[in-house]
């Protein structure tokens, strides 16, 4: 035969074998805190981007700094061995940039000394784009032991994407809005997260940013001993400092503890 007669036929999508189990924010924060404790700020920020912006791993690896906006992340490319390529759907999308993630990205940019907007947010050690073997090595050497140590053996980096979608659902976002942010069709959103929506039906709505902040506060409080109360003047009651805890986004109230994992 001179050509393949089915080359133009679109392959049907595979049926999902099991319901997704979105990682909890508490689990994400436990993993992030461990990476920061191990002085892996790049990896901790990558973890946060996957979990709190819902990027596909290849989209996160190809993200340049000029696509990190004031309130959104612009996703218009993905990583490949041949260089940047179009996204899986071939479309560009803007994703809401949650305040805790914005603070993580700002801290990482400062620490990595990346001044050019054209540079990658998550480059390799030589400043280039990851290749497929770089990603496989990172999963095997960094992510898999991290997930196992956090009690989530078998979890994939891609599964962190489900955490973002579940955060939007818990806020009360519509199916269309969740699909737009995730970068797939509303029907796929219903097929993938229908059971999550049913579980959260009637539950109290909580903003995603507040949920992340609460999980970070709990993670820090659970690892560090409380400080001794500051002596107060007679007739005055002890108070909590109004200064933000180092490492958290501006405006976050001080915690009763100080810990480097934040």
Parse the chain into domains and list their residue ranges: 25-200
| Cα 78 from Cα 94, distance rounded (Å) | 14
Q: What is the pLDDT of residues 76-99, one digit of tens each?
A: 999 999 888 988 888 899 999 999
| Cα 13 from Cα 36, distance rounded (Å) | 38
Mean pLDDT of 35-39: 96
Helix (H, G, I), strand (E, B) or coil at 153: coil
Q: Residue 221 has what pLDDT?
A: 79
Contact 55, 99 (CB under 8 A): no
Domain 25-200 belongs in CATH node 1.10.443.10? yes
Q: What is the pLDDT of residues 94-152, one digit of tens each?
A: 999 999 999 999 999 999 987 789 999 999 988 899 999 999 999 999 999 999 999 99
Q: Taking 60 as the threshold, does the pLDDT of residue 212 lie above it? A: yes
Q: Taking 80 as the threshold, does the pLDDT of residue 233 lie above it? A: no
**Which residues make Cβ contacts (< 8 Å) with residue 130, sequence separation at least 6?**
61, 79, 122, 123, 124, 138
Q: Give long-range contacts, CB 8 A cutoff, 24+ apart: 250-253.
A: 250/103, 251/99, 252/213
């Amino acid at each position: 035969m001179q050509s393949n007669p089915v080359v133009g036929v679109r392959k049907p999508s595979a049926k999902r074998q099991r319901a997704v189990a979105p990682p909890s924010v508490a689990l994400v924060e436990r993993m992030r805190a461990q990476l920061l404790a191990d002085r892996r700020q790049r990896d901790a920020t990558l973890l946060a981007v996957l979990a709190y912006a819902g990027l596909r791993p290849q989209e996160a690896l190809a993200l340049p700094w000029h696509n990190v906006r004031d309130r959104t992340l612009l996703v218009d490319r993905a990583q490949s061995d041949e260089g940047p390529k179009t996204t899986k759907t071939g479309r560009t999308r803007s994703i809401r940039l949650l305040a805790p993630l914005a603070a993580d990205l700002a801290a990482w940019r400062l620490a990595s000394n990346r001044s050019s907007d054209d540079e990658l947010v998550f480059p390799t050690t030589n400043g280039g784009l990851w290749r497929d073997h770089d990603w496989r090595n990172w999963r095997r050497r960094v992510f898999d032991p991290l997930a196992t140590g956090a009690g989530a053996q078998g979890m994939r980096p891609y599964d962190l994407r489900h955490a973002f979608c579940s955060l939007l659902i818990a806020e009360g976002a519509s199916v269309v809005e969740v699909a737009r942010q995730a970068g797939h069709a509303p029907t796929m959103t219903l097929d993938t997260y229908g059971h999550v929506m049913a579980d959260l039906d009637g539950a109290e709505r909580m903003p995603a940013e507040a949920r992340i902040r609460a999980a970070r506060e709990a993670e820090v409080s659970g690892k560090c001993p409380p400080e001794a109360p500051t002596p107060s003047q007679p007739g005055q009651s002890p108070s909590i400092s109004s200064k933000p805890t180092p490492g958290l986004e501006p405006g976050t109230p001080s915690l009763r503890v100080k810990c480097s994992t934040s």
